[in-house]
Amino acid sequence: MEALLSQFTFLSDQALQGNKNFDPSAMEDLMKLFEIESYKAWAALELVEEKQVKGAEITMPILSFDQMGLKDDLLRGIYNYGFEKPSAIQQRAVMPIINGRDVIAQAQSGTRKTSMIALTICQVVDTASREVQALILSPTRELASQTEKVIRTIGDFMNIQAHACIGGKSVGEDIRKLENGVHVVSGTPGRVCDMIKRRTLRTIAIKLLILDESDEMLSRGFKDQIYDVYRHLPPELQLGNCFRGQK
């Protein structure tokens, strides 16, 4: 940042002095770099832990949810939830997923990862269809339930229908909810796999799969169940992979 400021001062002096060697395009390029570096410095203040997002290059600051081009009713839900500006992980991961890219993200607890997943899913879901269009797999019942609740809350003004398919709950309730039609399923690999094999959870319209805390799921031995779920999904599936990594 200091080098950029020094270069900016040098070019500004050239411009003010009417130096014939002054290059306006160099000043424009420098301003773009300065804006990006300023954004990075600002975003660093938001970090609870270091985060990495592969395949999600940020070239311009995203300082508000209004810059993301989200649906009006989704924005209402976001602000009603109490969010004022996007966190670092939301800035980096939301737009690439919305634009159809596969994303691998690392984020620790307290970074609004769950709400990032929720608002992304609410944006891509077509509420005119009652088919399941997004599936989130989580390592624990608690996390799957939390994700489902955040999706329903943020998507309240859109009438997003979400259901948590988790062990320890009534299978009959899962069957009833899924047969009535929901847009999003958040669940643990075992119960989701069971619902698919019962042909209660229809996968034909699923376009987005989120593996939340995938490293934790693998460490708990869910690899085979995740694969069983994955092989029943459409081939053109979009994938979001979130993991915690080391603190």
Same domain? 10 vs 98: no
Same domain? 178 vs 73: yes
CB of 185 within 8 A of CB of 192?
yes
Residue 48 has what pLDDT? 34
Same domain? 82 vs 25: no
Structural tokens at position 67 = 């810059």
Residue 25 has what pLDDT? 73
Distance CA 144, CA 242 (A): 14
Q: Which of 29, 24, 1 is nearest to 14 (CA)?
A: 24
- Provide the residue range defining the domain that includes 14: 2-44
Same domain? 164 vs 219: yes
Distance CA 18, CA 140 (A): 65
CB of 81 within 8 A of CB of 153?
yes
Q: What is the CATH number of the domain that holds 81?
A: 3.40.50.300
Q: How many residues does the chain have?
A: 247
Distance CA 241, CA 195 (A): 22
Distance CA 123, CA 72 (A): 10
Same domain? 29 vs 57: no
Same domain? 69 vs 34: no
Same domain? 161 vs 91: yes
Give how many domains the chain has, as a whole number: 2
Residue by residue, pLDDT tens for the chain (247 residues) are 456 556 656 655 555 566 667 676 775 666 666 556 555 554 544 443 334 444 444 445 678 899 899 999 999 999 999 999 998 888 888 999 999 999 888 877 667 889 999 999 999 999 999 999 999 999 999 999 999 999 999 999 999 999 999 999 999 999 999 999 999 999 999 999 999 999 999 999 999 999 999 889 988 999 999 999 999 999 999 998 887 644 4
Same domain? 185 vs 148: yes
Q: In the predicted model, what is the mean pLDDT of the chain? A: 83
Same domain? 84 vs 134: yes
Residue 8 has what pLDDT? 55
Residue 111 has what pLDDT? 74
Residue 163: its H or E element: strand 162-165
Same domain? 27 vs 64: no
Same domain? 67 vs 38: no
Q: Which of 125, 122, 177 is nearest to 154 (CA)?
A: 122
Distance CA 86, CA 46 (A): 9
pTM of the model: 0.74
pLDDT tens across 2-59, in order? 565 566 566 555 555 666 676 767 756 666 665 565 555 545 444 433 344 444 444 4
Same domain? 8 vs 122: no
